[in-house]
Structure 1
Amino acid sequence: MEQFVENNETEQLDQNDLSDTAEAEPGDLDSGNTDDSMESLMDMYEESFKRFAEGEVVTGKIISVDKDYVLVDIGYKSEGQIRINEFRDEDGQIRAEVGDTVEVMVEWWDEDEEVVVLSKEKAAKIKVWDEIKKAYDEDGIVEGVILNRVKGGFSVDIGVQAFLPGSQADLRPIKNLDEMVGQTLTFKILKYNRKRSNIVLSRRMILEHEREAARTATLEAIEEGKVVTGVVKNITEYGVFVDLGGVDGLLHITDISWGRVKHPSELFSVGDDIKVKILSLDLEKERVSLGMKQLTEDPWTTASEKYPVDSRITGKVVSLTDYGAFIELEEGIEGLIHVSEMSWTRKIRHPSKVVSVGEEVDAIVLDIKPDNRRISLGMKQVAPNPWDVISEKYPVGTTIEGKIKNITDFGLFIGIDEGIDGLVHISDISWTKRVKHPGDIYKKGDLVQAVVLDIEKENERFSLGIKQMQPDPWQTVAERYEVGKEITGTVTNITDFGVFVELEEGIEGLVHVSEISKEKIKNPSEKFNIDDVLTAKVMNINSEERRIGLSIKRLEEDDQTILSDYINKMGPATSTFGEILRENLQEKLNEDDDE
C-alpha cells in the first residue's frame, strides 16, 4: 500500500514537536503532567500519520461546495475532494449541502494539490457489492429496476447492472416481454463475479417460494362446496384453469354457465379474477374441479312457471341445424323450433331460409319438459293458420286469377294467397286437348283464371281447374252427332286397332279396324294416312267415357242396300235399254265391293 505521508514531512513534524517540547515550562515537566502531555502529543503525532488505503470506504462530512468540487472532511490532515458531477441527480440538480454526511471511497493522493481524491459513486458501488455478497451468502433478496430487453433476457439495475434470464423472469413464459421493462421488482442472486462485474438474477425463485407457501395455505383452507376467488391461468377449448393460490383448478366449459358457451375465451382472459365454487377435491392428486354456474340457481327449476304451454315468448336464435333452430329464452334455457313449425304454407328445407343466428324471433310454447331440459316452440303459431279461412274465402266453384309460380310434369301451381298455391292438374287443363306437358301450353309468370275444384285443409291441398272455365263439350256431343249420322273428319292417328278421326277441335271418333271394310284389314296404315279426309257413320256415343264409334263399312253397306232396293223396284226390263242399264249398275256395285 502507498502511504499518503512522506518522510520529509515526518522529519519536519518531529522538529516542530521537539521545539514545542523545549519551550515548555519547567513546572510542566514534573512526573505526573509530563506523562499526560507526552501521551497527548503521541496521539496527535499518530493521528497526523493516519493512513488510508486506496479503495477504502470511509465516512466524511461536507465542509464546502463550489462549482467544481465538494470538499469532505474524512479526519485526515487534508480535506478530501469529490467532483461536483457526482452529486447531480437525474434532473441535473446538485444534491450536496455543507454539513451532510457522505460515504466516500479513497481513490488516491494528489501530490500537486495536496488533497485526497475521493469518489462518492465508487463508494456506493462498493456498498452495493457488499450487499450483493450478503444477499447471496444469506439467501436474501435485492431490489432492482428492469432497464431494457437484451438477448436472452433483461438488463436490471440493482445499483450495478445485472442480467435476468428470460427463463427466470416468471413462473410461465411471458407473452409480451416489453411489459416487464420499467418494473421495480425483487430478485434472488443466482451467481455473481465481482471482478468481472457479472451478476445473474432470478425472479422465478421468489415466485416459486411464494407459490409453495400459498399452495400449502390453500390446501389447508379449501373444501368441497366452498366459494373461492382465483386468477385465470390458462384457457383451452374445454375449460379454464384457475390459480387458487398455488393450486390450479379446472373450470370445465359445461360448468361455466347454465347457457351455451362456444369457447371459454369469449368470457375470460388470462389474468382475470373470478369467483368459483369447489365441486370436487382430491388432495392426494391435487385435482380440483370448479364450477361457476353453480353460484346461481338452475333456471330450469322454474321454467314451467315462466314458460307455460301456449304462452308467447321472444328469444334470440343461437344455433341452426338441419332440423330446426335453437332459441335462447334466457341464459341457460333454450327451445327448439322444428322446421315443420316455421311456416303454415311453405315447405322449409333448412331453417336458414327463414331465420339467422343472432336474430330475435317470436314463438309460441308448444310443449315443455323441464326434467329433460327441453322446450318445443312454434313460430308459425304466432299468426293464424291461413288454411283455417281459405275455404271460406274461396269456396268451391269460385273463379280465381293468379300467376303461374311453377310448372311440373303433372300440372301448374298458381299463387292464390301469401304462401298458398293452387294446383291445376294436367288432366284439368283442357276438356279436349291431349296435353303431353303443361309447359307446352303455359310458361312461368303467365296470368291465368281457374275454378276452385276442392280444398283439403288436413292435407293442405288446393285444387283448381282451367278447363272448368268452359262447359264440357262432351255433354252435348250426342246432340251434335246423332247415331246413324254421316260425318266427315280428318285422320289424326293410326293404330293397329283403328283410325282416330277428328270431328271438331278436341272431339275424336274411332273407326275400329273391324269397321273399316267388309274385307279383313291387317294394318289400317295400309289404307289411310294422317290428315286424310274420310266419311263415316256414327255408330254409338258414350259421353261419360268420351267415346264416339264410327264405321266406314256400315256406310258402304247402307249405300249398297239403297241401290239394291232401287234396282229391285224397277221390275223386269221392257226393252233392251233396260237390260243394259241393269247390267251396268250391277258392274258398278261389283267394283265398289272389290275396292
Structure 2
Amino acid sequence: MTDTLSPSRDDFAALLDEQLQGRDLGEGQVVHGRVVGIEKDIIIVDVGLKTEGRIAAREFGIGEGAVIPKVGDNVEVYLERVENALGEAVISRDKARREEAWTRLEVVFADGQPVNGAIVGRVKGGFTVDLGGASAFLPGSQVDIRPVRDVGPLMGKEQPFQILKMDRPRGNIVVSRRAILEEARAEQRTELVGQLQEGEVREGVVKNITDYGAFVDLGGIDGLLHVTDMSWKRVSHPSQVLAVGDTVKVQIVKINPDTQRISLGMKQLQSDPWDGVEAKYPVGAKYTGRITNITDYGAFVELEAGVEGLVHVSEMSWTKKNVHPGKIVSTSQEVDVVVLDVDSSKRRISLGLKQAQNNPWDAFLETHPIGSTVEGEVKNATEFGLFIGLDNDIDGMVHLSDLDWSVSGEEAIQRYR
C-alpha cells in the first residue's frame, strides 16, 4: 500500500529540479537576477542559485546620472563563480556591462559604424576610451588630423569613434577619432567642391607656402595657387608675392572631380600682357629691358611686367664667340635690345643684344679696306694658322699657307709658339 504522506514521483522530480536549479548557469556568463535586498552600499541579487550574490552599489554608477536599483528590480549581472568559500555566488555588474558592451560593439564593428565614447585617461602611446562599459585604446596618432598639444578639452566629452580593431579573447579594442574627422572633412569637401565652378572668383586666406606655390583656404576647402599662376611676370619663389595669413582674391582655374583638387590663379584676374604683343613690339624696334635670368644658351630680358624675350648666345656680341652669357651680361643689368622675331601663340620674343650696338666689323672695313696692311698681336697659334688681335676686339686669322713663302707653314707657326 502506498504511503500517502511520502512524496509522489512528480513531487520528487519538482524537488530535484529545484535542487538543481541554476546549475545550468555556467560561470563566465551574463545572467538575469532580481534585487532582494539592500544593505548600506551593497546590493543583494538573487540569480536563482542556492545563495544570493552581493554587488557594491558603485558598480551601478557613481555621481549624477547613476541609477541604483531598488528591491524587486530585475538586473543583469556577470556570474564569476557559482559559490565561493562563504557559500555565496560571486557576481559583478561591471563585468556584465563589459560583456554587454562587447556584444554590442561587435555588431557595430561588423557594420563599420561609429560608436560613442569618452576619453577617460592617458596611457603610454595614447589614451583610454570608455565605450559604455568596454575600455578601448586610442593611439596618440589617431586623436586628430593634426597633432594635438592639449587634449584637456577632449577629456570626458562624449564623441564618436571608429573601431579599427577588436580582439575579444585578449580584451583588446583600438579606436580612432581621426577617422571620424577625416570622413566628416571628406563629406564637407565633396559638398563644397560641388558648390564651386571653374572661372568663379573667390576670396581666400593663404594657409601654407611651399617652393612650388601656396595653399589657399576657400572656406573649408584648400586650393593650390601654383607659382606660375601668381603673376604674369617671373616669380622665383611664392614668398616674393604672398605671406601666410594674407587674404587674396583668386579665380578657380580647374576642378578635378575625381581627386577633388582645385587649381587657383591670381594672374588670371589681370589683363594678359601678351595680348597684342606683336603690335607693341614690332620686329626691328629697339627697347630697353632688364636681365632676369642667365642660362648657358642665352639671357632673358624683361621688356615689361610679364613679357620676357630671349637673347640667344649667338646674338649677344659681334666679336665674342663661344663665351658664356654670364661673362657678357649680369642679372638685373639694364640693356638695349632689338626685336628679331615675335611668336605670340608660343609667347616667345627673340631679341638681339649685338644688334643694338654698332658693328665693329663695319667700322674696321671703313678704315682698313681689303688689301691694306695691318698690325696686330698674335693671340693664339694653332695647327692651321695664327689668330691675330686687331682693333676693337676684332680677331683675324692667318692661315698656315699664307704665313711665309720661304718656309713651310708648320715651320712658320713654330716661330710664334
2:218 is the counterpart of 1:334: no
Matched, 1:488 2:374: yes
Task: Using the TM superposition, give the Cα deviation of residue 469 of structure 1 relative to its aligned residue in structure 2, in angstroms.
Answer: 1.9
Residue type matched to 1:394 in 2? Y
Q: Does 1:308 align with 2:192?
A: no
Whole-angstrom CA distance in 2 between matches of 1:297 and 1:504: 74
Q: Which shows bigger deviation, 351-360 or 510-519?
A: 351-360
Equivalent residue for 2:286, pick from 399, 402, 406: 399
Task: State which structure, 1 or 2, has the greater radius of gyration over its C-alpha atoms.
Answer: 1
Structure 2 residue matching 1:372: 3-state secondary structure: coil
SS at match of 1:431: coil
Amino acid corresponding to residue 305 of structure 1 in structure 2: G
Q: 1:262 aligns with which of 130, 138, 146?
A: 146
Q: Distance in 2 between matches of 1:393 and 1:386?
A: 10
The 3 A distance-change label for structure 1 pair 441 and 233 is same
Compute the displacement of 1:233 (Å). 2.0
Task: Give the gaps of 5 or more residues in structure 2.
Answer: 1-38, 43-57, 60-91
| SS of corresponding position for 1:269 | helix
Partner of 2:412: 524
Deviation at 1:443, TM superposition (A): 5.3
Alignment deviations for residues 365-397 of structure 1 (CA, whole Å, 9 cap, x no partner): 333334434333345434444444544433332
Shift in alpha-carbon separation, 1:215–1:513, aligned structure 2, 3 A: closer
Deviation string 1:79-109 (CA, Å, 9 cap, x unpaired) is: xxxxxxxxxxxxxxxxxxxxxxxxxxxxxxx
Contact 1:235 1:264 in 2 (8 A): no
1:275 alignment partner in structure 2: 159
Structure 1 counterpart of 2:256, from 366, 369, 373: 369
Return the alpha-carbon distance in structure 2 between the equivalents of residues 393 and 491 of structure 1: 46
SS in 1 for 2:317: coil
Distance across 1 between alignment mates of 2:284 and 2:143: 63
Match in the other structure for 2:86: none
- Whole-Å Cα distance in 1 between the matches of residues 151 and 338 of structure 2? 61
* 1:406–1:366 distance in 2 versus 1, CA, 3 Å: closer
- Tell whether the 8 Å contact from 2:316 to 2:328 is kept in structure 1 after alignment: no
**Residue 497 (structure 1) aligned with residue 384 (structure 2):** yes
TM-score, length-normalised on structure 2?
0.56
- 8 Å CA contact 2:141, 2:147 repeated in 1: no
Q: Is the 8 A contact 1:324 1:338 kept in 2?
A: yes
Given that 1:336 and 1:375 are in contact with CA atoms closer than 8 Å, whether structure 2 keeps it comes out as yes
Contact 1:232 1:268 in 2 (8 A): no
Aligned length: 321
Please state how far the C-alpha of 1:306 moved relative to its aligned partner.
0.9
Tell me if 1:298 matches 2:184: no
Aligned match of 1:115: none
The alpha carbon displacement at 1:308 in A equals 1.9
Deviation at 1:262, TM superposition (A): 0.6
Q: Specify the SS of the correspondent of 1:505.
A: helix
Deviation per CA, 1:135-181, whole angstroms, max 9, x where unpaired? Answer: xxx6748xxxxxxxxxxxxxxxxxxxxxxxxxxxx99xxxxxxxxxx
3-state SS in 2 of match to 1:464: strand
Give SS of 2:155's match.
coil
CA deviation vs aligned residue, 1:192-235 (integer Å, no higher than 9, x gap) = xxxxxxxxxxxxxxxxx886576577668877488876432246
Residues 246 and 265 (structure 1), Cα distance of their counterparts in 2 relative to 1, 3 Å cut: farther
Secondary structure (helix, strand or coil) at the match of 2:268 reads helix
When the two chains are superposed, the root-mean-square deviation of aligned CA atoms in Å is 5.0
What letter is aligned with 1:396? V
The residue type equivalent to 2:157 in the other structure is D
Q: Output the amino acid matched with 1:430.
A: S
Give me the whole-angstrom Cα distance separating, in 2, the residues matched to 1:440 and 1:288: 66
- Percentage of identical aligned residues: 33
Taking the aligned partners of 1:318 and 1:390, their CA distance within structure 2 comes to: 36
Aligned CA distance change for structure 1 residues 288 and 438 (closer, same or farther; 3 Å): closer
The answer to whether the 8 A contact 1:248-1:288 is kept is no
Shift of 1:436: 4.2
The aligned amino acid for 2:223 is G
- CA distance 1:303–1:442, change in 2 (3 Å): closer
CA distance in 2, matches of 1:395, 1:268: 69
Tell whether the 8 Å contact from 2:377 to 2:390 is kept in structure 1 after alignment. Answer: no
Q: Are the structure 2 counterparts of residues 492 and 411 from structure 1 closer, same or farther at C-alpha, using a change threshold of 3 Å? A: farther
Asked if 2 retains the 8 angstrom alpha-carbon contact of 1:395 and 1:452, the reply is yes
**3-state SS in 2 of match to 1:298:** helix
Structure 1 counterpart SS, 2:341: strand
- What SS does structure 1 have at the residue aligned with 2:407? coil
Q: Which structure 1 segments of 5+ residues have no match?
A: 1-137, 142-169, 172-208, 530-595
Q: Partners in 1 of 2:233 and 2:316 — Cα distance?
A: 24
- TM-score, normalised to structure 1, is 0.42
Instruction: Output the CA distance in 2 between the equivalents of 1:312 and 1:251.
Output: 42
After TM superposition, the structure 1 = structure 2 runs for residues 191-590 of structure 1, keeping only pairs within 5 Å, are 215=98, 224=108, 230-234=117-121, 241-248=128-135, 261-265=145-149, 269-276=153-160, 284=168, 287=173, 292-293=180-181, 298-319=187-208, 324-331=213-220, 333-346=221-234, 348=236, 355=242, 357-388=244-275, 390-405=277-292, 411-418=298-305, 420-432=307-319, 436=323, 446-457=333-344, 461-472=348-359, 474=361, 485-493=371-379, 495=381, 496-500=383-387, 504-521=391-408, 522-525=410-413
Q: Which amino acid aligns with 1:302?
A: E
Query: Cα distance 1:469–1:278, how it changes in 2: closer, same or farther (>3 A)?
Result: closer
CA contact (8 A) 1:403 1:445 kept: yes
How far apart in 2 are the matches of 1:402 and 1:462? 13
Task: Provide closer, same or farther for how the CA distance between residues 317 and 391 of structure 1 changes in structure 2, counting only shifts above 3 A.
Answer: same
Deviation at 1:236, TM superposition (A): 8.6
- Letter in structure 2 aligned against 1:315: G
2: distance between equivalents of 1:528 and 1:308?
76
Higher relative contact order at CA 8 Å, sep ≥6: structure 1 or structure 2?
2
Contact 1:450–1:466 (CA<8 Å) still a contact in 2?
yes
Residue 487 of structure 1 aligns with an amino acid whose one-letter code is T
